[in-house]
Amino acid sequence: MADYKFPTEMVDLPSRGYFYVDGHPLSKGKVEVKYMTAKEEDILTSQNLIQQGTVIEVLLQALIVDKTINVQDLLIGDKNAIMVAARILGYGKDYNFEYGDEEQTVDLSKLEPAKLDFSKFTKGKNEFSFDLPNSKRTITFRLLTGRDEQQIETELKALKKISKDTSSELTTRLKKMLLSVDGNTDKAFISSFVDNEFLSRDSLAFRNYLTSITPDIDMNAEVVDSNGKEKVVVIPITLRFFWPSSGI
């Protein structure tokens, strides 16, 4: 008996595939995703996966048709786009969340990718350069992938056991992103620079620049608050996103 072919949709990646090496399946800029079934809902209800914090990654891996694609290779923004598409295919385009005391509904199908000028980028290369405005240092960096995020989370958990008073999330993330400082690629040098020489003013400027070049889904939506005023808010990803009937 022939295998049943599930209906699928092509998802456009916010990166357009620009920042994956030539020949990589993600360099096509599109990923084929199948509709969710009860089998994928089993993944969503796995307490073991939920506790491990890997439930979304396992779900997306199951939904991606091309099994040569590893979900951990996805840039964070591309992963977000597939996550939104999976939610739409699984439970529809309407997503309810609370803002203040009001219940809000947004149409996820209307979310658009962030507008980027791809002519400024080199296709097939995940490497960028930025001149820090205050210290006049030059850094090169890369965009993070799902694998990077997982490694960062693991490192942060380990650091939290050592010191519960401070958060090292920003510096850990910067160390994972930076490839060189003034041409020096030594990891120990980069780590020392982040800890001791990365001025807060330069850090802010860098993060603003990073936002301007990062491919992602624009998760801003217009809502009406309890006073009847329109506001633009970032759509929160709560348990209702993949568990819409949970009542949470």
pLDDT tens digits, one per residue of 60-90: 999 999 999 999 999 999 999 999 999 999 9
Neighbours of 78 (CB within 10 A): 30
Q: How many helices (H) and strands (E) does the chain have?
A: 8, 9
Q: Which residue, chain included where needed, has tokens 């996966």?
A: 49
What band does 164 get if pLDDT is binned at 50, 70 and 90?
low
Residue whose C-alpha is closest to residue 87's, from 213, 224, 217, 211: 217
Q: What are phi and psi of 42, to 5 degrees?
A: -60, -35
Binned at pLDDT 50, 70 and 90, residue 238 comes out as: confident
Give the pLDDT score at 241: 86
Question: How far apart (Å, rounded) are the C-alpha atoms in residues 93 and 32?
Answer: 18
CA 48, 51, 55, 57 dihedral sign is: negative
Q: How many Å apart are CA 129 and CA 132, to the nearest integer?
A: 10
Residue 13 pLDDT greater than 50, yes or no: yes
Band the pLDDT of 16: cuts 50, 70, 90: very high
- Checking if the pLDDT of 131 tops 90, the result is yes
* Proportion of the chain above pLDDT 90, given as a percent: 68
Q: pTM value?
A: 0.88
Question: What pLDDT does 52 receive?
Answer: 84
Q: Which structure tokens are listed for 107?
A: 């149409």
What pLDDT band is residue 3 in, cutting at 50, 70 and 90? low
Beta bridge partners of 113: 217
- In 3-state terms, what secondary structure has residue 89? helix
**Token pair of 154 as six digits:** 């693991």
pLDDT tier, 2 (very low <50, low <70, confident <90, very high otherwise): very low
> Can you give the pLDDT at residue 97?
87
CA separation for the pair 96, 103 (Å, rounded): 7
Contact 43, 55 (CB under 8 A): yes
Domain ranges of the chain: 8-113+218-234, 125-213
Answer yes or no: are the C-beta atoms of 22 and 124 closer than 8 Å. Answer: yes
Q: Pairing state of beta strands 8-12 and 30-34? A: antiparallel
